[in-house]
Amino acid sequence: MKIKDIENLEITLLLDAMYQRYGYDFRDYARASVERRARQFLIKTGYKSISEMIPALLHDELFFQTLVREFSITVTEMFRDPSVYRVLKEKVLPVLKTYPFIKIWHAGCATGEEVYSLAILLKENGLYDRATIFATDFNDEALEKAKQGIYNLENVKQCTQNYQKAGGSESFSQYYHAKYDSIVIDKSLQKKITFANHNLVTDHSFGEMHLILCRNVLIYFNKTLQNRALNLFDDSLVPGGFLCLGNKESLLFWEKGKKYESIEDSSKIFQKKYLPEGLNMSNEKQ
């Protein structure tokens, strides 16, 4: 057996051990991403092989938690991809304004910067007070940082530029205050946000959402897991509701993709169609 094949088997056993012991299922994550992160973790820990890590994983929960953090993707920033927020402002929020209240699910929220960006957008467009935002991730450490709303001061310049490009109508500085080498998000932006642990691999859907954002998460899943996540979103989204994905993600190969129409191709924002009562997609294909 070649070294590459042995390593592949070791990673398979590692992932199975994580699932069997702790219930965290990374087996359907994109294999290249899993392999890269497993190797990075191997270098950090000083073990000679991935298989040597398995006993530590099984018997040491702190070791497992460290490994989960390595597998968790937390790359984010305030108003990341500003054009997406501009499209949300111009094409999605006017529709949401027609509802007496709105429910939003931000899946894979990481450390929360994009959740607060959305909260600012809602606030400036008169929708924040009638919104309920559920921000979820499987990484408890990232969720804790999101709840605190404390971020590196060094990033403020980039965040301010993103905010302006996104069509922000106020001064970005009013949404935080500086403290030492950090910024602290204004508490008024937190009152409508509920942060919670949710795993797209194993957990169930949220009901009756008007907007779901899950940006740059599906690219780390294989096709099986992408379909599972998209089906969760479909089950959670009201007819006429909106789904916002990352700029490299698509509904193209999803079996229910025809239920959605693109609002703006480059921003990957889709609206769930209103289907006539009694008609489902299986009827439509016949």
User: Do residues 55 and 14 share a domain?
Assistant: yes
Query: Domain limits at 28?
Result: 3-71
State residue 276's pLDDT score: 60
User: Do residues 103 and 238 share a domain?
Assistant: yes
User: Do residues 254 and 217 share a domain?
Assistant: yes
Q: Is residue 20 part of a domain?
A: yes
Q: What is the pLDDT of residues 264-286, one digit of tens each?
A: 888 999 999 987 644 444 344 43
Q: What is the pLDDT of residues 142-184, one digit of tens each?
A: 999 999 999 999 999 999 999 999 999 999 999 999 988 999 9
Phi-psi region of 201 (alpha: psi -120 to 50; beta: other; left: phi over 0): alpha
User: Do residues 123 and 258 share a domain?
Assistant: yes
For all residues of the chain together, what is the average pLDDT? 90
User: Do residues 56 and 167 share a domain?
Assistant: no
In which residue ranges of the chain is pLDDT below 50?
A: 277-286
Continuous H helices in the chain: 3-22, 31-45, 50-59, 61-71, 82-87, 93-96, 113-124, 140-148, 156-165, 223-236, 281-285
State residue 255's pLDDT score: 92
State residue 115's pLDDT score: 97
CATH no. for residue 257?
3.40.50.150
Q: Is residue 284 part of a domain?
A: no
Given 71, 90, 116, which residue is the final one in a domain? 71
DSSP-based three-state secondary structure for 139: coil
Nearest CA to 249 among 281, 221, 212, 210? 221
State residue 265's pLDDT score: 85
Given 40, 71, 102, which residue is the final one in a domain? 71
Structurally, how many domains does the chain consist of? 2
Q: Is residue 105 part of a domain?
A: yes
Tokens linked to 75: 């790359």
Question: Which string of DSSP letters, residue by residue, matches 57-91?
Answer: HHH-HHHHHHHHHHHS-----TTSSHHHHHHIIII
State residue 281's pLDDT score: 43
User: Do residues 183 and 265 share a domain?
Assistant: yes
User: Do residues 91 and 223 share a domain?
Assistant: yes
d(CA 268, CA 215): 9
State residue 31's pLDDT score: 86
State residue 1's pLDDT score: 73
User: Do residues 86 and 208 share a domain?
Assistant: yes
User: Do residues 199 and 220 share a domain?
Assistant: yes
